[in-house]
Amino acid sequence: MQIRELTIPDSYEITPKQFGDDRGVFLEWYRFDKLAEVVGHPIDLRQANTSVSKRGVVRGIHFADVPLGQAKYVTATHGAVLDYVIDIRVGSPTFGKWDTVLLDDKDRKAIYISEGLGHCFVALTDDATVSYLVTDVFNAPREHGINPLDADIALVFPEEAGEALLSPKDTDAPSLAEAAASGLLPTWADMREYYASLNAAFTTPKEQTR
């Protein structure tokens, strides 16, 4: 597989190698060792989620308190979504910026989003099925949101998504500025320390074979 860092530091696009024949297709959509070599540590998977969405459904922007936070490894197993990673780390050089990866059942890409980053997607097809591997179980008091329609973030939804369909929970969420003012957001400095602590105890598979 190929792993490429996005314009938001600590987020990655993963493109698997697909093996097709007259029976269908085989691929590895997650490899802990390949990801660990790039990220600096293996992700400690604690929960797997699946959502099915109508075309136009927007889910997010979501994030969780750190520690532990909730790093995510996300792919689409049916249909297509445009997946967004949003930098909500106060003091980051890309604070308030975002990048995207198209997740669909053709290229079968995945996206890895580190702890402390915001996550959102919009469904481009009906019955868009998205599966997430995450590093902590759901903990409602530690889960937060930012309004995906915040004009300062200015997410752009593709025309093929049609009319945006959002939950009241997401539209009632604070703006990025409001979340920052209330002290809800992680800081760039704290997250750099946290990532370093995860990396410190890990020896990469390459180092183990030397």
Task: Give catalytic residues, as residue numbers.
Answer: 62, 132
DSSP 4-64: EE-SSTTEEEEEPPEEEETTEEEE----HHHHHHHHSS-----EEEEEEE-TTBEEEEEEE
DSSP run (H or E) holding 134: strand 128-134
Distance of CA 69 to CAs 12, 131, 155, 174, Å?
17, 18, 23, 19
DSSP 101-129: EEEETTT--EEEE-TT-EEEEEESSTTEE
List the one residue out of 70, 76, 30, 29 whose CA is nearest residue 52: 76
- Quick count: other Cβ atoms within 10 Å of Cβ 125? 19
